[in-house]
Amino acid sequence: MKSTKLLQFLQTLDGYDWRSLLAFVESPFHNPNPDAHRLLGHLHALWTEEWKPETLEREAIFKTLFPKQPYRYQMLNQLMSDLLKLAEDWLVWKRLQEDTALAEQIKAEELVRLQLGKHYRQANRKAKNALEKAPLSPAYHLQSWKLLDLAEQQFFRQNTRQPTPFLQEANHALDDFFMLQKLQYTCEMLNRQRLIDQAFDPTLVEPVINHLSGQDLSHKPLHQLYLYLYQMLQAPARHQETFFSYVNLFREWSARLSPETARPLLYYAINYCIGRIRDGERSFAPHLLGLYQQGIDEKILIEEKQLSPWTYKNMVKLGLNLKRYDWVEDFVKAYSDYLPPDQQKDALHYNLAELYFYRAEYEAALDQLRQVEFTDIHYNLGSRTLLAKIYYEQGAWDALEASLKAFQVFLRRNRSISTKVKTPYANFIQLTGALLRQLPASYPKLRAKVEATQPLNNRDWLLAKLS
Is cis: bond before 221, omega within 30 of 0?
no
pLDDT for 29 equals: 95
| 434 contacts: CB under 8 Å, gap ≥ 6 | 446, 449
Residue type, 405: K
CB within 8 A of 297, min separation 6: which ones? Answer: none
SS3 7: helix
pLDDT at 280: 86
Q: Do the beta carbons of residue 188 and residue 180 sit within 8 Å?
A: no
Taking alpha carbons only, the member of 98, 166, 177 closest to residue 130 is 98
| Residue-level length of the chain | 467
Contacts for 5 with CB less than 8 Å, ≥ 6 apart: 84
CA distance 129 to 307: 34
Q: Smallest Cα–Cα separation from 279: which of 241, 240, 228?
A: 240
Q: Identity (one letter) of the amino acid at 112?
A: V
Rg (CA), the chain: 29
**How many CB atoms are located within 10 Å of the residue 432 CB?**
26
CB atoms near residue 353 (< 10 Å): 27
- The pLDDT score that the predictor gives to residue 295 is 96
Q: Are 417 and 377 in contact (CB under 8 A)?
A: yes
Q: Which residues pair with 257 in a beta bridge?
A: 136
**Average pLDDT of the chain to the nearest whole number:** 94
SS3 labels along 172-206: HHHHHHHHHHHHHHHHHHHHHHHHHCCCCCCCCHH
Angle between helices 259-278 and 285-297 (to 10 degrees): 160
DSSP-derived secondary structure for 16-60: HHHHHHHHHHH-TTT---HHHHHHHHHHHHHHHTT--GGGGSHHH
Low-confidence ranges of the chain (pLDDT < 70): none
For helices 362-369 and 377-394, give the axis angle rounded to 10 degrees. Answer: 150
Burial class (CB in 10 A: 0-12, 13-18, 19+), 111: buried
| pLDDT tens-digit map of 165-176 | 899 999 999 999
Cβ(250)–Cβ(290) under 8 Å? no
Between CA 283 and CA 287, with CA 285 as vertex, the angle to 5 degrees is 90
Residue 236's pLDDT is what?
83
DSSP state of 118: H
Distance CA 419, CA 281 (A): 29
Q: How far apart are the C-alpha atoms of 190 and 202, rounded to whole Å?
A: 9
Q: Which of 79, 75, 62, 63 is nearest to 25 (CA)?
A: 79
Cα separation, 244 vs 4, whole angstroms: 49
CB 238 within 8 A of CB 272: no
Cβ-based neighbour number of residue 160 at 10 Å: 9
Distance CA 295, CA 367 (A): 32
Cα 207 to Cα 205: distance, rounded to the nearest angstrom? 6
Distance between start and end Cα atoms, the chain: 62
Yes or no: say if 249 and 224 are a contact pair by the CB < 8 Å rule.
Answer: yes
pLDDT reported for residue 403: 97
Bridge partners of residue 8, in order along the sequence: none
Q: What number of CA atoms fall less than 13 Å from residue 127's CA on the CB side?
A: 26
CA 249 to chain CA centroid, Å, is 21
Give dist(CA 262, CA 300) in Å, integer. Answer: 7
The Cβ of residue 369 has, within 10 Å, a number of other Cβ atoms equal to 22
Residue 302 main-chain phi, psi, to 5 deg: -100, 105
